Chains A and B, each alone.
Chain A
Amino acid sequence: MSAVENDPWALLRGATRARVALGRAGDGLPTARELEFRAAHAVARDAVHTPLDAGRVRAALTDAGVGLPLLEVHSQAPDRATYLQRPDLGRRLAEGTQLPAGDHDLALVLADGLSPRAVHEHAAGTVAAVLERLPGWSVAPLVLAHQARVALGDPVGQALGARIVVVLVGERPGLSSADSLGLYLTSGPRPGRADSERNCISNVRPPHGLSHVQAADTLVALLQASRRLGASGVVLKDEGAALPPGAG
């Protein structure tokens, strides 16, 4: 018998990422397992409540060689508590927001969403990789959005005069994934677009999830298909054959 066969607990643990065979202290958890769980939860909770740091994002973009200007906007949710309870406010731009109207193929919005940490760690690298792959595209100034939901990209994209908007947004942290970035593509952005009119790439989170380059490859394939069709969402997904796996 191998060592693993002699230890059935190791056999269970090796079979799944689920927290199996934790052992017991009476009817509860052993202290080490209890603290492990609390640690994972603490990191996830902190990721939700860490404020979006514009200076940090700006520096990361510069380091990544992104030359586009960075504008800042706020949603109508004034703080985190309101943001969490009122998703409707997170989809609307604060009163009096001014954005320079233009004529662009694409706008990129960096939105804190539920994990500002994801924007801090993965937005600049992803933006740089996307821009490298889009020679000849006219791209609007980057927009950093505070207390923002995905649909905030609709009024932003419309105001900038962009034919497509991509929102790079911090996803809801899981116990083992506090820094996951999601990318949402919407053609013809304007308020009122339905979720079925968007395409999503999820779990951009190297080294455990998609790399920045993988995410950019997939996004650029979607962007080219979207530009060709003049649409996004379910119609684009249905065209799937030309897209890399996961480009749904």
Chain B
Amino acid sequence: MTVRRQTLGGHTFEFASLSDLLAKATPARSGDVLAGVAAESQAQRVAAQYALAEVPLATFLTEQVVGYDEDDVTRLILDTHDPAAFGPVASLTVGGFREWLLARAAERDEAAISGLARGLTPEMVAAVSKLMRNADLVAVARRTRVVTGLRSTLGLPGRLASRLQPNHPTDDAVGVTASILDGLLHGSGDAVIGINPATDSPAQTVALLELVDAVISRYEIPTQSCVLAHVTTTLRALEAGAPVDLVFQSVAGTEAGNRGFGVTLDLLTEARAAALELGRGTVGRNVTYFETGQGSALSADAHHGVDGRAVDQQTLECRAYGVARHFDPLLVNTVVGFIGPEYLYDGKQVVRAGLEDHFCGKLLGLPMGVDVCYTNHTDVDGDDTDTLTLLLGAAGCSFVIAVPGSDDVMLHYQSLSFQDVLTARAVLDLRPAPEFEAWLARMDLLGDDGRVRELAPDTPAVKALLAAAR
């Protein structure tokens, strides 16, 4: 274990391990205080950032944060590391890597940045993010290209897609359908129409899959459905012959964290293969969807690494991306404000974490989206979510989550509204996924100016779409 020292303001700070250095260098957040790993002063934090800037990137290939022998996520990350992709940055320090990224971003050299993905480990990406300001995170993510597809194409430049989340407290078919139609009328749903089921039963999952599939088929909507049940439930639905577009699972950055979610890497491999076999894609073959969020490992007491040392929540979040990318996902999103103030306390912390997660996921090669959200016991409101949404739009975020009127009446938290998505697209000149945009035009839901039309109830387009609800 290498001890690192840094003098700042006449005081010498000592960092006992690589994980200690990463934790102390992390911008302030409540979850790291809860875990007992946060910097104890501003000076200590910046001292850690100085020391971290001097660490060679290659160190992360030999010095572990979570042990290779104890953790299958570490093994997955290191066993699949691509030295050729790492080549262009192999000789850099973390600080040098930050400058390299900013230079390539300024040159708009998307190929150089995007080509690194398989050569980077989550710990390298976490490390460099800790040295970056919010605008750095936006600037580099904007020039990182990750394109995926199933029945719509996501991640193209100048596009912002959304997951239409029509949750209902009792999975009522009519209620869910009403929310789907409301979202479609607002131009949402190009990333996925994705429901969190109220109960995780195979029968309920199949019923919801069939419901959304019927809507998608009836109107020939170029998008995909997902019921965000546990992967074992989705496997049962697949066995029952249900129309499964996407296999969903929440994942964490440690083997213990994934055990807490009731998943193993083998289980995810099996489910992905089963979904691929259905061949339901038209423009691509990405058939998995993962959700993550800073604090999930800590909340499961699965946040310990080498020598039992606690690891900071942002580094662990990046390791969850190391899991996700192994399964070639269509969609990955961090649920950034959901977990509560003990992990991200206020708007400043949520905005910072959302930008970090988006940048880190994308740099690691993921089609990164964000659930820009909050609970009522967190010090966050619509102004904060506006800020994060517009920054994410500028950063080239693949997709965001949208629910009717920002109010998820099943999960009892607030995410973006369909109107928020329209606003972000309008302000930043972003458009829906191309196949979905063409569909909106066919349905007469798009104006000549490319905006989603604000329709009167008696418009033929509205009547046609609402025919399903009668």
Contact = CB atoms under 8 A, between A and B. Distances in A.
Do chains A and B stick together as partners?
yes
How many residues of A sit at the interface, in one of the four size bands? 35 or more
A184 to B, nearest CB: 18
A28 B419 contact: yes
Interface string B404-445: 111101001010010100110110000000000000000000
Interface stretch (B174-182, B270-278, B321-329): B174-182
Given A17-B409, A18-B168, A45-B376, A85 B178 contact: no
Contacts of B406: 19, 37
Contact of A18 (B342, B376, B403): B403
A37 B403 CA distance: 13
A88 B34 contact: yes
Interface stretch (A97-105, A136-144, A169-177, A214-222): A169-177
B168 A11 contact: no
Interface string A43-64: 0110110000000000000000
A22 B404 contact: yes
A12 B412 contact: no
A38 to B, nearest CB: 8
B405 A28 contact: no
Interface stretch (A1-9, A67-75, A127-135, A160-168): A1-9
A12 B419 contact: no
Given A84-B345, A87-B342, A16 B409 contact: yes
Interface string B441-460: 00000000001001001100
B187 to A, nearest CB: 10
A48 B33 CA distance: 22
A176 B470 CA distance: 28
Contacts of A11: 178, 466, 469-470
B404 A28 contact: no
A227 interface: no
B405 A41 contact: no
B419 A172 contact: no
Given A18-B403, A41-B376, A85 B175 contact: no
Contacts, number: 128
A33 interface: yes
B374 to A, nearest CB: 9
B54 interface: no
Contacts of B167: 18
A6 B456 CA distance: 12
A18 B164 CA distance: 13
A33 B425 CA distance: 21
Interface in B163-210: 166-169, 172, 174-179, 181-182
A172 B457 contact: no
A20 B376 contact: no
B34 A12 contact: no
A86 interface: yes
B114 interface: no
Contacts of A28: 419, 423
Interface in A14-47: 15-22, 24, 27-29, 33, 37-38, 40-41, 44-45, 47
A169 B332 CA distance: 35
Contact of B407 (A6, A9, A19, A173): A19
A33 B404 CA distance: 12
B376 A12 contact: no
B70 interface: no
Contacts of A27: 419, 422-423, 425-426, 451
A127 to B, nearest CB: 25
B64 interface: no
A16 B172 contact: yes
A16 B409 CA distance: 9
A174 B376 CA distance: 7
B463 interface: yes
Contact of A114 (B169, B377, B409, B423): B377
A5 B404 contact: no
Interface of A: 5-9, 11-13, 15-22, 24, 27-29, 33, 37-38, 40-41, 44-45, 47-48, 84-88, 114, 172-177
The 4 closest A-B pairs by CB, nearest first: A19-B405, A16-B175, A15-B178, A27-B422
22 contacts: A12-B178, A12-B466, A12-B469, A15-B469, A16-B172, A16-B178, A18-B178, A19-B407, A27-B422, A27-B423, A27-B425, A27-B426, A29-B419, A37-B406, A37-B407, A84-B345, A85-B33, A85-B345, A86-B342, A172-B412, A173-B377, A174-B412
